[in-house]
Structure 1
């Protein structure tokens, strides 16, 4: 179907070609807003994976991409947490089972490259979406519109800009929105492996003294691995030949899925965190890693970003029904009010868990161990934690 001619002033311009930017652009275009997406063509070489909870899957279903991706993903039916710190106070193993909530699975794990490729194809084919395949070179905010100037294309004017251009966001910086940023003395080593034994749809997170060591199922007998280490420890792992590294990772996994063979590039990322002081500016809304960044623990990152998109879309749709200016202060303030507590609670929880693994402070170790013990032994608490892990404040209606 041919795309309609772009008006002089769009309703919305989304800047950023990552997962959050493309999903936001599709969602808003399908709601009937005129939308431009300013983003370079995505590379499809990213070997990382993303675990998506049920609410995120629902959003992908809404925009029409999930049915074509489900066969490339792995179900996550159980989440197992194992204290592997070798400290004096160690918690017992805790298993969160989706069947306790009446669900077949908590969600699915999928390669980022598969998801990004499908999103780019869907964006290119979406009738209400104009794709400008370039990075934003500059942005100007005014009372009536935002003007985004791509490097090699004509300017795009819109009533609202949605910034999904990452932690070094041009749009956020141009709006003078300050950020609180911090770093951790850790590096995440990320790769995918094939293994001899079936994973049985169980994601396993070992808690170690350097951070989490996580195995997340992929289709077949494959898992993605995130190994959080000190900088020295990460450098040691990265220096190993593939066969030696596979044996070392199998040792750390206690051979729960048998022998390993590395089947992807080995990537590494220093761990850091970021929170924008405000989620909004003049005719500007921040989503995803433009607004918040934290370590890859508990599969919260992209799921939090997709809740940004859900709440922004709902806010803008309500504003349009009322006849309100979608880029006006009152509408944007409503979006920020809806997102603040969710972002703060996720950031604080992930930060606290990560720091509790690193600390030698005995009372903190006792509190963490006691929390895991109670989660394993007290059914109502365990089910509450499962619900809250998937959607804040019981936002997902579950039995």
Structure 2
């Protein structure tokens, strides 16, 4: 009887019961420590999601950015002047000249071979009194710059996880992440792409149009430099676009039928021959510097960009074929308007998150509708086999070439003004 209790060994059933109880306690302690309250939760780890998270934190809101780890994005983004100005004004990018290449000219060449062909048209940034229309910036550099900006924000925390479930009750969003943790948030920001689950859980209606075309992207080395000129060769199944990436390097976006793109990359010799033909031998023999990647094309729009204390930014709210350089530019305009709505918000008021979502939806409606119609019209008019559509496109490009007020208005629209 004088022995301590610890000296008596436990029977096997008792050991199992003790182990189970220990595991139960450990799980529940961990779950409690992983339960988080925040004012704003941002879902999605792309560039728009990172920018939205930084903007939310800088507006004075406790912000949790939820996104899984992702491989490096080796693409580039052609950002127009207003987008670059916003990035510099908000210190997301210090100096674009240190990481990117200026876009000083945009050249459109009608290579359709149709009876009604448009004239070759060149847009010069100097016509708008600008040194450049914008900058072609590597996404890796932008990601690093945005992440560095976020690390300085005391209001911003990050979680490497994916959103598994979400529902809203008592004016708060309850989120369950795939790591088992739980989050409650007043305002939910969806930057989670075309297949947005935030959009689904918020009950926002989406319209998607799938095209018969796909896009092939890679980096090329040319034998003659682009010298700051983005060149678009317009073919019946879509444009073949070369964007300057510094020196002899260019970013290729080639839109065509998927079977044609797959056939093109079957052998290095076939690809080399078609790259020279599609670029009309203007830049010698282009040579691929990176692997080719093909992805299907679709357009996506929503009936509203904010509802039930949920806000959509980037491709969760809009997606277009890569023509007209509107993708990330439009996403950054989303973040800029989100910034304005948060600056006007009163987080002490009842239902403040609902009010922010309504204000954001109203503020974004005109820009999303106008840009969506422009890009869709530009793309479908090029693809249309119908003579009236081809005539309208040719007449429009003639007007852009010869009528200065029309040229300037088109260039201003392309800049997002």
TM-score by length of 1: 0.91
Q: Any idea what the Cα deviations from partners look like across 1:104-136, whole Å, max 9, x if unmatched?
A: 111111222332233234334432210011111
Match of 1:347 in 2: 372
Match for 1:29 among 33, 37, 57?
57
CA distance in 2, matches of 1:82, 1:206: 5
Match of 2:363 in 1: 338
Matched, 1:39 2:67: yes
CA distance in 2, matches of 1:317, 1:324: 17
CA distance in 1, matches of 2:153, 2:378: 41
Consecutive unaligned residues in structure 1, runs of 5 or more: 1-5
- CA contact 2:35–2:181 (8 Å) conserved in 1: no
Q: Secondary structure at the match of 1:66?
A: coil
Compare CA radii of gyration and give the structure with the larger one: 2
Q: Which runs of 4+ in 1 moved over 4 A?
A: 321-325
105-114 vs 317-326, greater mean Cα deviation: 317-326
Match of 1:85 in 2: 112
CA distance in 2, matches of 1:143, 1:256: 63
CA distance in 2, matches of 1:333, 1:184: 32
Q: Secondary structure at the match of 1:327?
A: helix
Matched, 1:277 2:267: no
Match for 1:268 among 287, 291, 294?
294
59-68 vs 78-87, greater mean Cα deviation: 59-68
Match of 1:254 in 2: 280
Match for 2:414 among 360, 375, 389?
389
- CA contact 2:275–2:285 (8 Å) conserved in 1: no
Shift of residue 331, structure 1, vs aligned partner: 3.0
Q: Secondary structure at the match of 2:247?
A: coil
CA distance in 1, matches of 2:173, 2:347: 22
- Do the aligned partners of residues 350 and 165 (structure 1) sit closer, same or farther apart at CA in structure 2, a change above 3 Å counting? same
CA distance in 2, matches of 1:161, 1:55: 26
Shift of residue 332, structure 1, vs aligned partner: 1.9
CA distance in 2, matches of 1:353, 1:102: 25
Shift of residue 311, structure 1, vs aligned partner: 0.7
Matched, 1:221 2:248: yes
- CA contact 1:26–1:123 (8 Å) conserved in 2: yes
CA distance in 1, matches of 2:342, 2:149: 22
Shift of residue 152, structure 1, vs aligned partner: 1.2
Shift of residue 253, structure 1, vs aligned partner: 0.8
CA distance in 2, matches of 1:209, 1:323: 55
- Do the aligned partners of residues 153 and 263 (structure 1) sit closer, same or farther apart at CA in structure 2, a change above 3 Å counting? same
Shift of residue 53, structure 1, vs aligned partner: 0.8
Match for 1:362 among 387, 404, 414?
387
Match of 1:299 in 2: 325
Match of 1:3 in 2: none
Q: Secondary structure at the match of 1:52?
A: strand
- Do the aligned partners of residues 66 and 17 (structure 1) sit closer, same or farther apart at CA in structure 2, a change above 3 Å counting? same
CA distance in 1, matches of 2:303, 2:265: 36
Consecutive unaligned residues in structure 2, runs of 5 or more: 1-33
- Do the aligned partners of residues 174 and 247 (structure 1) sit closer, same or farther apart at CA in structure 2, a change above 3 Å counting? same
- Equivalent residue pairs, number: 385
86-95 vs 230-239, greater mean Cα deviation: 230-239
Matched, 1:9 2:37: yes
CA distance in 2, matches of 1:257, 1:296: 22
CA distance in 1, matches of 2:112, 2:229: 21
- Do the aligned partners of residues 112 and 378 (structure 1) sit closer, same or farther apart at CA in structure 2, a change above 3 Å counting? same
Q: Any idea what the Cα deviations from partners look like across 1:296-330, whole Å, max 9, x if unmatched?
A: 001001101111111111012112399674412x4
